Amino acid sequence: MEPLVSILIPTNNRPDLVVKAIVSALNQSYKNIEVIVTDNSETDETQSVIRALKDDRLKYIKNEKNIGPVLNWRKALTESSGEFCILLPDDDYLINPFYVAEAVEIAQVNNVDLVITNCLLGYPDRILVGASRHVGLIDSNDFIAGFWKKYHIPTISNLFRKSAALKLDAFSSNDILYSDIELWIKIMSNRDRIYCYEKPSVYYLFHSTNIVTNMSTESLIKNSKFLHKAASPSVPHETLNALICRYISFVDNIYNISSYSVTKRIFAENNIYSSIPLHHAKTLFARYRRMAIASARKLLPI
């Protein structure tokens, strides 16, 4: 029998958008699915529009209070029953009707816990293809070493094995808004291979109320620590330092936080300066900023 797949749709005050996400999930060619909607909304408007859909595969849970974005992801995960899960934000939607069927087959045939999919990035003024820059099986250590430079994780909506996510304590804190990337790196640190699926499967919508586009500088600094928490002890220290620098480049492209003071604080948060004399700090800063900028030029549209 085909394994059950849970499509997790955490939502908060987006009744019009969430319906599109839900319908895109229910319209997948793979029929052994459940759609779990966990609702942080203050009103009952989302509940009303979801009830009108009338599909037995749809499970709606209204939180008694707003539990925060990441813990709402966790709520959807723990309420699910599938062997595999896909996290679909309420403002995004699936565009490839065969994504779930093909990703499940890939995961089973190759015995992997993570299938990364390409996507379309929908900006207010343009649409781009978000690509992992690899197709097929890839060594996890190679992907980590090249992440945000040679390889990319373009969307949150990857297929992952639920048991692996629970074992790795996925989505456990609202303090880590990049908890999706944290989970992908944790999976890579604990399994030798993952799979990159070529077809764009998700429309990732950018707009003024995206959670990640409204993070404060303080939050961005604190969030940087997730990389050290996610990676296994076997990941070389230099690789982690490089990832921190690419993280700076990644968030700088979104938030324009390029400054010595912010970069220095991110370095300090991750103990990059701990083993060198303080007077070498600016030299190290310049070195890693050059690396970050070079990575950004390869990765991001200029």
Report whether 179 contacts 96 (CB < 8 A). no
- Same domain for 14 and 31? yes
Report whether 269 contacts 225 (CB < 8 A). yes
- Same domain for 222 and 285? yes
The candidate with the shortest Cα–Cα distance to 263, out of 278, 279, 249, is: 249
Q: How many domains does the chain have?
A: 2
Count other Cβ atoms within 10 Å, centred on residue 194. 25
Continuous H helices in 8-139: 15-26, 45-51, 69-79, 99-110
pLDDT of residue 276: 47
**Per-residue model confidence as pLDDT tens digits over 130-168:** 999 999 999 999 999 999 999 999 999 999 999 999 999
According to DSSP, the residues that pair with 195 across neighbouring strands are 115, 137
Q: Please, what is the average pLDDT of the chain?
A: 89
- Same domain for 149 and 277? no
- Same domain for 285 and 177? no
Residue 175, SS3 per DSSP = coil
- Same domain for 164 and 229? no
pLDDT of residue 294: 58
- Same domain for 110 and 132? yes
- Same domain for 40 and 176? yes
The pLDDT confidence band at residue 279, using thresholds 50, 70 and 90, is very low
- Same domain for 193 and 226? no
- Same domain for 63 and 165? yes
Residue with tokens 């699926």: 197
Continuous H helices in the chain: 15-26, 45-51, 69-79, 99-110, 140-146, 162-167, 179-190, 217-223, 226-230, 237-255, 260-269, 281-299
**Per-residue model confidence as pLDDT tens digits over 1-18:** 799 999 999 999 999 999
In whole angstroms, what is the distance from residue 75 CA to residue 236 CA?
34
- Same domain for 120 and 49? yes
- Same domain for 233 and 183? no
Its pTM stands at: 0.90
Query: Domain holding 186: CATH number?
Result: 3.90.550.10
Range of the domain at 134: 5-213
In whole angstroms, what is the distance from residue 88 CA to residue 25 CA?
9
